[in-house]
Every structure is written in structure tokens, then in C-alpha cells.
Structure 1
Amino acid sequence: MTNDNVFNVAAYFIESNLTQGRSEKIAFYYQNQIYTYGQVSSFVRRSARLLANLGIEQENRIAILLSDSPEFVFAFWGAIWLGAVPVPINTTCSLDEIQYILQDSRAKLLLTTQEWQEKLAPIQSKYLRHILLKDGESAYLSLLNQEDELLPCAETSPDEPAFWLYTSGSTGRPKGVIHLHQSMMVCAEKYGRATLGLCQDDITYSVAKMPFAYGLGNTLYMPMAVGAASVLSDASNGFDIIVDIQRYRPTILFGIPSVYAGILALAEIAPLDVSSLRLCASAAEQLPKSIWQQWLETYNHEICEGIGTTEFLHIFLSNQIGKCKPGSSGRPIPGYDVQILNDDGVPCPPGEIGNLQVRGESLMLGYWKRLQQTRKAIYGDTMRTGDKYLRDADGYFYFMGRNDDLFKVNGQWISPMEIEDILHQHPQILEVAVVAESSSEEQLTQIVAYISLKPGQAATPEMEMNIRKFAKQQLPHFKAPKTVYFVEKLPRTSTGKIHRKLLSKDSSLRVSISL
């Protein structure tokens, strides 16, 4: 395409790999199957043809409610090829959230599984015209094989919507984040190529799934931008991920903190074979220093932690191999201007906690039907993220919590991350989340720790006393948790972050202490 105002990102990624002679190169591994770039190209074009034959038109939304699979890939790119707008829905969303997204997005077509269709019946959306299933007699791939490929790509603009992603909805209803055709190019170049050194010899494995902004980049568009391969898997627990890594031999592991902790907890009975890995990355939430150190000691790999948002599509702060500072989100990646400002908009000096502000070309167009929230969050190509951060003298950024995560005790601001990092060093703790709760009697803020224990450890009064004693030895007295609750596992949002507000609201999560 020679016209600067015409750019279709699906066509760009697919055609660039074919013109560079990668037609026979593996693009995706899925269970016992492989898909080459040539096959991906054929299925994407057929997907676009099938959608067009069903009456889907340019700018129509299509919803994809699937685990990571070839059908997801072909439908996502096929919609963009046609000029339609795919809307991935995370399979960890609640039924109510899924129904809401289908109605809110006005999706005219849903691609899902028969199991999900039955769970959702009746689907509450007056806009939905078609439901296609991944499985069953008229499976999606079978339908694609009946279509021809002769459909030119839509002549879209780099500045028009290409796809939507919904936020996790931890502070209200999920918000539709509108991303442009150019956004994936920016992230693939600035983070994938320039920061990670992603190349065509890499095989990526992402714990985060594709409806999650982090997973979409890790698995779908960043590998395709350089002709690399990626693994499509729905593994979520440590054992299955360990098996996958041994089977597919990826070179890059895109993890999240809870998974790194889970794999470490299994190190004695199911050690991870890291011989194929050249890089380990982490995002979604802060990686505790103790987990970073244990991973280095156990597997001789640094974890390159980074941070991004759904609104910016992918990572804008990151550590790099050989330049990691454990506990930090790293430094700004090329192309992003990241600042910490006080409440008056003045830049904070090193060591002072302030509000994170980011500028970059991958910023969303806005929130769907949320004009006031869009204007409150962004101006121009700059966004106030709602995160509290501080920066050290070397330019590394440290996450202190969301705006509403910080709390005051004895007149001092406290970040739960600092307390969690100390508690993670306790040998029996697997995961921990610290929140502030008000005492109903005295109306005082109390620090409460919700803790899940490592396999084989029991929630007993002795364990509680041991943990509280450990905290008092390691922390100033006013930062040590006054109350400890044990939970089977920490509740998480659909994007994998700890759902802190749910901890205080839902007492049924707590495990009874065995006497």
C-alpha cells in the first residue's frame, strides 16, 4: 500500500511475512499441530470471507470468547482484514461481565465454544445476529475450509479503530478501550524489537492470554512483527506450564508474578527445564524482590519486570537483561515519556511518591461511551494512569500502588507493596495481599494481610503467630499487619491482578484456622 493514509495492520503483518519468504516458517504451535505463516494467511483471508458472507461489514464489532487457539488468531486477524473490529473477551470474566460486554460493544457476531454458549443462554444482547462455534458439527475451521480466499483487505487508516479490549472492571463495569491500527506496530517496534531484541528465531510462551493486552502482544502481534513463533496454550497452573515449556522449548517466557511464585513452589518436585529460555519477563502487577531473587538463585535467570496498561496496549516501563533492579518496573522504553508528578502537576524529585503520567503513540483513542472518563484520563497523547510511583536516582521506577491502594497509619502514607515484599520472604507464604481496613469500633485504619500458603502448609494458630512475629521483626511496628487471614488463593481480576477490594468485602474467601 503506497497511500500513507491507508494501512491495515492485519494485511501488513501477514503480507510482510510472506514477502520475506516465511510462508513455510512456523508461526504457531497448538497442541499437536503447527501452523505456518502461509497457512495463517490462508485461514485469515477465509475468515474475512466468511464474516463478509454473514453480513458483517466494516466497523461492525465481532466478539471472540475463546481460550488461546488457532480459531482466535484467524477470527481476530480476519475481522481486521475485513475492516471489522474484533472484541476479545477474557474467559475468566463472570457470566454477568460477558453479557454486559456483548451488549455494551453491540457485537453482531460471537465466536465461542458450545460450552460457553450453553452457560450464557439466553444471551442478552439485542444486537447479536450470529453465533459461530469453535467446536461441534459446523466447527469454525470446517466453515473456513469451505470459503475461498479472494477478498482484498479493507483500505483502513492507521488512525481508525482496529480492535477493542475491555478492562478488568475491578472498580466498576469493564470499560471498552479502543485501539488503532497503528498501535500494535508501535508496541512491536518499541518493546518487542528494541527492548527485548525479539527476532525470527524466537518462540514465545505467554502465561497471560490474548484477551489481556499483555498476552495479545506476547502471543499474537509482536512475534508476527518479526516472523517469530508463539505457543497457543490454555495452561494456567504451574504443573501444566512446566510441561508446556519442556514440550515446546520456547526462548522467551512471558510470566506474571503469581506464576513465577507457583513454579518456584514446585521446584523440588517438578523443576522447570530452562535450557531453551534466553529471557524471562513479567508484568500485570509488581514482582516481589524475594521472588526475583529466588528465581535467579534457582534457575540462573533474571526476570525482566515491566509495566503497561490496557490503555497503552503494552509495556512502557521495563527492565532489561543485565540491567535489572529487582522490585522496580524498570526504566522508560524508547518512544515513551514517563514522569512522576505531584498533585499540582510538578515533577517529583527522586525518592518522592507521586502520580504516574505517560506519553506515547500507542495510547488508546478513548473509552467506548465514556467521554468524561476519557477526558479525565487523557489529554493529547498523554495519560494519567492512576498509579502511584517513585523514581530513584538512577531513573528506575517503583510501583507504590494504585491511587486508592495507599493508606495512612500514624499520619504516614504506606504502600502495601512494601509490606507484601517483606512477607513474601517468609518461607511458608506463597502469595500475600495487604489492605487497609477500618476498625468499626475505633474508626482506625488497620493493616490486614491476606495470605495463601505454599502446598503442604496448614493454616493454624501457630502459623498465624509465626507470620505476625516475622512481620514485627522485619517491619516498623506501625507497618506490621494487625490481622492475618488465610485464603486458599487470592481473588483476581480477569486480567490476573489481585482483586484487593473483594478481599475485604467477601469474608467467605477466608480459610478457617485449624486448631
Structure 2
Amino acid sequence: MNLSRFTEVDWGASPPEIRVPRAYNAAADFIDRHIAEGRGERVAFIDDREQVTYGELARRVNRAGNALKALGLQPEDRIMMVMLDTIDFPALFFGAIKAGIVPVPVNTLLTADDYAYMLRDSRARAVFVSDALYPVIESALEDQPFVRDVVVSGEAAGGRPRLADLMARADADLAPAETLADETCFWLYSSGSTGRPKGAVHIHSDMVNTAVLYGQQILGLSQNDTVFSAAKLFFAYGLGNAMTFPLYVGGKAVLMAERPTPESVLKRLNDHNPTVFYAVPTLYAGMLADPALKPAREDADLRLCVSAGEALPRDVGERWRQRFGVDIIDGIGSTEMLHIFLSNRPGEVRYGTTGKPVPGYEAKLTTEDGQAVPQGEIGDLWISGPSSAVAYWNNRARSLETFHGPWTRTGDKYLIDENGCYVYQGRSDDMLKVGGIWVSPFEVESALGEHEAVLEAAVVGRADHDGLVKPEAFVTLAEGRTGDDALAGELQGFVKDRLAKYKYPRWINFVDELPKTATGKTQRFKLRD
């Protein structure tokens, strides 16, 4: 095995210097390296049905890569993965990469129309789908000129071949394709919170940069960690949490195929005793909403919780620490940057902020015309770092809007407080100007969320009878509470007592649920509509 194809990290440098060879295949680094370094017998993944060691995972990766080649797939061909979180996911993902084929994992909660669009957009030659999701994919396959093969993970469906059968017939040895560090490795589609998803193209060196700079440097992950991510593998946050981060350090990951509810998540926390847990703010709030929901294990090893997807409200973080005794490390990342680039630190948590830039990344705040903003004022967040996507596939206009040399425009509004921490103010297209002054929807939502009756809140702009924009709130209530005019008035007064008076919501609507993407981001544009 050619050890020169693995990365080297100089931890004496600040930030750590990551030396990625020019000739580099990410699968060799994340999979084969552990066999070379003697970790073949360590458990890599546990899913709902089985567990695999690093040695067995390496063989499955090789079989998956050879199965793809047997289907006639060539280097740089794309395959679409519509797959739940099982061991088949990392086996196929890295099998494709090892063979030089480009995996495109996609959201498992979309409609047939969404899948049909992404199949045409990506020109995927094959689709790999979990058996439970096959009916939706089947109806997306009409008039698809590029798809040649459809393979099912799990039990047979629609007369299609099973992934397990293809892998069983394939050889367990596979040499890594002769790929380069700057070569296209995989795609991730954006969550589409403001329109059609966009395919972000990532290269082979992106995953190792996030694994080292965030996973090891910030979270302190090691081979002794067991991680569990309620956030799924199909999007950037979950892909790092439950796959690339633990794989890089030789740790163990727990995978869960079913939808993450407070009950299903707590079961995994109790059954597998992870040391690190990842979720989104909505799930943390949902778990806190049930006062009876507490860990059953007195010997729990949980040392760290992580949040991303949307900014974590201060109140949720503080109540979680009080009940569970563990801090939530809030950060922000993106599909375009692959993982978290602003973050709080273990032992240095400032709830209500997103912390500071992850060493290895640079951040700046600018006005709409590109000028730097003074500390304490709201600006557009730009990020520069080694894991940025190359471009959006087949979308030159949006690529030019987002990627500017080494800088990526995130679309988020922030300010920097007196401690140098970044404080989230909302998305650029969500910000409100009330009386000529910028108002952050997130700030108003956080204030509403501190009221005991409120489970979640979303704030958008609405024109009053004079055509002037004012905040409007949509609120879901805690169990046992009923929305009426009296409660609406109480909530308005509650916000006035905590924020500047012009920021309070002029209208409050009580709703059963808020529209969200699969990553947990509130789709405010649907509320505006």
C-alpha cells in the first residue's frame, strides 16, 4: 500500500498544517489507512441491524466499487444515492470514490418531482435507493435520458437488483483510482430553502480539511469516541458528524435509519452511550419540551453536544445544560463549505452567539457594496477556507454570486459583539428594515422562544396598511397551551420587555407547525407567501 497517498498533519503549526498529496484518493485516506495502521478489528459503524469493523468496511467499500465498475460505470460518472442511514451508505459512498466515480447523496424526504429534477440536472448514470424510498423514486424515473441502472439497498423492490447481491458477486480487492486532490470527488445538493436545489461540487481534499480543522481541532475527536448524529448523512452537517469525522480518527459511529424524534434519539443515546451527540436546534427544543424526557443511564459518557443547521437560541442551550449537564457547542456551516466554519469551543461556550472562526478559516463582515462594517454593526458574512465547493453544477449565475476567489458569500447576516463572538442576525433575504433600522428575525424569534408557552417561532416581514414593513410572528405552542388574543398580547408585551420596542411582532399567528427543510431550517419564504 502506498502510504505517500495519505495526508499528514503538522499539529505544531497554528492552525494545523494539512499536507494533502497531489495524487490523492479520499477513500484511501478514510478507509485503507486504518488497515495499514492496525485498526482493522475496531468497530467502525453500528446501524439498526448490524455492526462492522474497519476491516469489514474496507472489504465492503472495495466490493461496492467493483460492483459499480461491473455496471459499466466509468471514472467521473455520477451516481445518485437516495439512501437512509445504514452501513450501505458509507460502503457505497467510499466505494464510488475509490473507483473514481462521483457519489451524489440527496435528501431522502423529497418529492418525485424533486428527484426527477436532480436526476436530469446531475445526469446520474445510476440510482441507488433504500427499499423504503423506492416508490417515490420509481415515479421519478419517467423520461430520464441518462439513468441506466436502479439498484435497491435492502429488500428487493420493483424487480430491481439488490445492492447486497451485486456486492456479494464483486471482488473484495480494489486499488484506488488515480485521482488528484483537486479532482471532483462528490456533490451535495443544497437544501433548496429558497428555490430549486443547487449541486455543490466538492473535491477529494475537502473532507480531510473539515475532519482535521473542526472534528479534531475543535471537538477533540479521537479513536476513543463513539458519535451519534440525529442529523442525517445526506446533507453536509450529518456527513461530517456521522461519517467522515469518526472515520478519519478511527472512532465509532451509530447510524439510525428512522426519522429523529425525541423518543428515537433518546433510545440511541441510552442504548449506545455515545460520547458526542449532534442535532439541530429544533430537535434539542423538542426534547426539552417533554419534561419527562431524561437519559436513563447514570453511567453516560456523553461529553459534548453539537448544534448547527440554524442558530441555537440562548434559552435552549441554557435549559439543555441544566437538564442534561452537557453544553451544546453551537456553530454554523453550509453545503458550500462542507461543514462548520464558525463555532463555540468546549469550555468556552457563549450561548446566543456562534462563537469565532474555526482556525484555518477566515471570516469578514461587509456592507451590501462590499465595505467592512464596524464592530457591533450588522454585515454580510463571507468565509474563506480550504473546504469550499468549486462551483454549483450547471449554474454559472449563482456560482458567480456565491464564489469570489478564495471567498464564499454565505447569505447570512451577523454582527461581532464586544467579546469578538459572531452573533447571528438572520439570512440576508430574511432581514427586515423597520423604521429604517435593520431588525433580525432571529433576535425576535429568540425572545419569543423564552416564553414558557412557546415551542418555536418564526418571524417575517409584513406590510401594514401604510405599506410599511413590520415584524409578523408565527408561533407553535407548548403542549397544553391554546393560542388566543390574550396570549398574543402577552407575547407582544413579553418581547417589548426584552427588545427595543420597534422590534416587537405586530401580528402573531398560532400554527400547528412551521414549514422546514429536511435539515431543520425554517422556510420563511413560505410564511411570507
TM-score (norm 2): 0.92
Aligned match of 2:148? 129
Structure-2 separation of matches of 1:321 and 1:267: 26
1:455 corresponds to 2:474: no
Deviations 1:402-447 (A, max 9, x none): 11111111221100111111111100111111111123x4312131
Structure-2 separation of matches of 1:195 and 1:376: 30
Deviations 1:73-127 (A, max 9, x none): 1111111011000000111223221211111000111011344332233414210
Q: Which runs of 4+ in 1 moved over 6 A?
A: none
Identity of aligned residues (%): 37
Letter in 2 for 1:132: V
Letter in 1 for 2:490: N
Aligned match of 1:278? 303
- Give 3-state SS (helix, strand or coil) of 2:451's partner: coil
Distance 1:331 1:39, change over 3 A: same
Structure-1 separation of matches of 2:293 and 2:425: 35
Residue 485 of structure 1 deviates from its aligned partner by: 1.1
Structure-1 separation of matches of 2:137 and 2:243: 27
Aligned match of 1:71? 88
2:123 to 75, 85, 106: 106
Distance 1:269 1:308, change over 3 A: closer
Structure-2 separation of matches of 1:251 and 1:453: 32
Aligned match of 1:141? 164
Residue 469 of structure 1 deviates from its aligned partner by: 3.3
Letter in 2 for 1:169: G
Residue 497 of structure 1 deviates from its aligned partner by: 0.6
Name the count of aligned residue pairs.
504
TM-score (norm 1): 0.95
Letter in 1 for 2:468: L
1:357 corresponds to 2:382: yes
Residue 272 of structure 1 deviates from its aligned partner by: 6.4
2:509 to 485, 491, 496: 485
- Give 3-state SS (helix, strand or coil) of 1:358's partner: strand
Structure-1 separation of matches of 2:405 and 2:271: 46
Work out whether residues 111 and 136 of structure 2, in 8 Å CA contact, stay in contact via their aligned partners in 1: no
1:340 corresponds to 2:357: no
Aligned match of 2:277? 253
Structure-2 separation of matches of 1:120 and 1:18: 36
- Structure 2 residues not aligned, in runs of 5+: 6-20
Residue 216 of structure 1 deviates from its aligned partner by: 0.2
Distance 1:270 1:279, change over 3 A: closer
How do 1:32-51 and structure 2 match up within 5 A? Answer: 32-51=49-68
Work out whether residues 48 and 86 of structure 2, in 8 Å CA contact, stay in contact via their aligned partners in 1: no
Letter in 2 for 1:108: R
Structure-1 separation of matches of 2:200 and 2:425: 25
Work out whether residues 331 and 395 of structure 1, in 8 Å CA contact, stay in contact via their aligned partners in 2: yes
Residue 294 of structure 1 deviates from its aligned partner by: 0.7
Structure-1 separation of matches of 2:278 and 2:131: 30
Work out whether residues 184 and 203 of structure 2, in 8 Å CA contact, stay in contact via their aligned partners in 1: yes
1:296 to 317, 321, 324: 321
Letter in 1 for 2:493: K
- Give 3-state SS (helix, strand or coil) of 2:336's partner: helix
Aligned match of 2:179? 156
Letter in 1 for 2:46: Y
Work out whether residues 306 and 319 of structure 1, in 8 Å CA contact, stay in contact via their aligned partners in 2: yes
Deviates more, 1:493-502 or 1:211-220: 493-502
Structure-2 separation of matches of 1:495 and 1:271: 25
Structure-1 separation of matches of 2:50 and 2:124: 30
2:193 to 170, 174, 180: 170
Deviates more, 1:375-384 or 1:223-232: 375-384
Work out whether residues 239 and 270 of structure 1, in 8 Å CA contact, stay in contact via their aligned partners in 2: no
Structure-1 separation of matches of 2:164 and 2:81: 14
Structure-2 separation of matches of 1:130 and 1:276: 44
Residue 378 of structure 1 deviates from its aligned partner by: 1.4
Distance 1:43 1:326, change over 3 A: same
Structure-2 separation of matches of 1:459 and 1:347: 43
1:465 corresponds to 2:484: no
- Structure 1 residues not aligned, in runs of 5+: 506-515
Structure-2 separation of matches of 1:40 and 1:215: 19
Aligned match of 2:13? none
Work out whether residues 263 and 272 of structure 1, in 8 Å CA contact, stay in contact via their aligned partners in 2: no
Aligned match of 1:215? 238
1:96 to 113, 127, 148: 113
Work out whether residues 177 and 367 of structure 1, in 8 Å CA contact, stay in contact via their aligned partners in 2: yes
Aligned match of 1:204? 227
1:186 corresponds to 2:209: yes
Work out whether residues 353 and 389 of structure 1, in 8 Å CA contact, stay in contact via their aligned partners in 2: yes
- Give 3-state SS (helix, strand or coil) of 2:146's partner: coil
Letter in 1 for 2:435: N
Residue 148 of structure 1 deviates from its aligned partner by: 1.4
Q: CA RMSD in A?
A: 1.6
- Give 3-state SS (helix, strand or coil) of 1:347's partner: coil
Residue 66 of structure 1 deviates from its aligned partner by: 1.1
Aligned match of 1:230? 253
Residue 36 of structure 1 deviates from its aligned partner by: 0.6
Structure-1 separation of matches of 2:33 and 2:138: 41
Aligned match of 1:427? 452
Deviations 1:262-311 (A, max 9, x none): 11112325556582211111111110011111112112222110111111
Structure-1 separation of matches of 2:297 and 2:481: 26
Aligned match of 2:71? 54
- Give 3-state SS (helix, strand or coil) of 1:57's partner: coil
Residue 213 of structure 1 deviates from its aligned partner by: 0.2
Structure-1 separation of matches of 2:80 and 2:73: 12
Work out whether residues 428 and 453 of structure 1, in 8 Å CA contact, stay in contact via their aligned partners in 2: yes
- Give 3-state SS (helix, strand or coil) of 1:24's partner: coil
Deviations 1:294-341 (A, max 9, x none): 112112222110111111100111101111111111111111011112
How do 1:385-464 and structure 2 match up within 5 A? Answer: 385-439=410-464, 441-464=465-488
